[in-house]
């Protein structure tokens, strides 16, 4: 057992009994939404996971401890502190733990801590990827590298629409990460269902996703798997509206010289402002949708063992 890792009693019991567990990130709480909407959403996601037969494990770093499973009070703490909490990627974990500080886990660090604890499935909104203009900036999310070597299945609504989706797919292909489309052959574009880009394989049931991940693990293949689950049609945004907002937000980030780990929270918040809050509601609904599918997949996987 990792000496820095704390697994909540609920999650530890579920793992010990061979029950399905689904990991959740904490950056979406601290950096993704305003207070109290962030806390309300986080608790709702946990309830959705329970309603679908699995146990939620929200992941974070608190006081230098890697936490797999948060209490409602800890979720409230993260929601209130918001962006005062450091956004923690792989490079930050050791320093935060050594200093006894807090960290909001990204896709990367949530995968890492989930794997340490023995959790195989993770529901999130969208992964990071290759940023627009990366041929000059080299701004590529650590999420893609983590998917290449950490054996966790990530269920998302595609890469965040603020990114270069084509280059993101190319990078995943190079690193050998299978990209599955749930009931679609097209990569969903986070706020919308269409990108014009193809995934590697279409899958039509949680059982099919579980069987592919099972085969990957049994073969000893390294790395994780990405499942892209389109936002429900009734919550999808008009492509023209969302792309116009994204283009403006990206232009403003360049003007203001916003870089590194600050750029994604800035872009998501600015897009929410430019769309009158519509993108925030879409974001929440796609997370709920991914939590359902992740829970069903975790249940199907557990039934195979």
Active-site residue, 262 included: no
Please answer whether residues 90 and 26 qualify as being in contact, where contact means their C-beta atoms are separated by less than 8 angstroms: no
Tell me which of 12, 87, 160, 261 is the catalytic residue.
Answer: 160
Residues in the chain: 305
Tell me which of 25, 46, 76, 146 is the catalytic residue.
Answer: 25
Dist CA 203 CA 293 (whole Å):
12
Q: Which residues of 231-260 are buried (b: 16+ CB within 10 A; e: fewer)?
A: beeebbbebebbeebbeebbeebeeeebee
Active-site residue, 25 included: yes
Dist CA 212 CA 228 (whole Å):
14
Positions annotated as catalytic residues are 25, 160
């Amino acid at each position: 057992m990792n000496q820095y890792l704390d697994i909540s009693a609920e999650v530890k019991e579920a793992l010990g009994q061979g029950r399905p567990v689904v990991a959740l990130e904490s950056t979406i709480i601290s950096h993704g939404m305003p207070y109290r909407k962030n806390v309300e959403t986080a608790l709702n996601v946990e309830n959705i996971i329970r309603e679908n037969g699995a146990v939620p494990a929200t992941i974070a770093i608190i006081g230098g401890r890697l936490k797999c499973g948060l209490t409602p009070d800890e979720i409230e703490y993260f929601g209130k502190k918001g962006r005062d909490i450091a956004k923690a990627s792989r490079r930050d974990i050791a320093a935060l733990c050594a200093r006894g500080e807090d960290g909001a886990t990204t896709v990367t660090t949530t995968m890492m801590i989930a794997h340490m604890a023995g959790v195989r499935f993770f529901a999130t909104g969208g992964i990071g990827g290759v940023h627009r203009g990366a041929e000059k900036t080299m701004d590529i999310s650590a999420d893609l590298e983590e998917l290449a070597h950490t054996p966790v299945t990530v269920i998302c609504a595609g890469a965040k629409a603020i990114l270069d989706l084509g280059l993101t797919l190319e990078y995943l292909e190079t690193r050998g990460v299978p990209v599955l489309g749930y009931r679609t052959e097209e990569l969903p574009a986070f706020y919308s269902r269409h990108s014009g880009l193809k995934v590697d394989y279409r899958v039509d049931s949680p059982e099919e996703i579980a069987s592919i991940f099972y085969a990957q693990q049994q073969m000893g293949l390294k790395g994780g798997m990405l499942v892209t689950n389109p936002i429900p049609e009734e919550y999808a945004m008009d492509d023209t509206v969302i792309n116009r907002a994204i283009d403006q937000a990206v232009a403003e980030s360049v003007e203001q010289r916003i870089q590194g780990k600050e750029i994604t929270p800035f872009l998501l918040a600015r897009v929410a402002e430019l769309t009158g809050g519509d993108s925030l509601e879409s974001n929440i609904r796609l997370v709920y949708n991914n939590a359902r599918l992740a829970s069903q997949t975790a249940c199907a996987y557990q039934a195979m063992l």
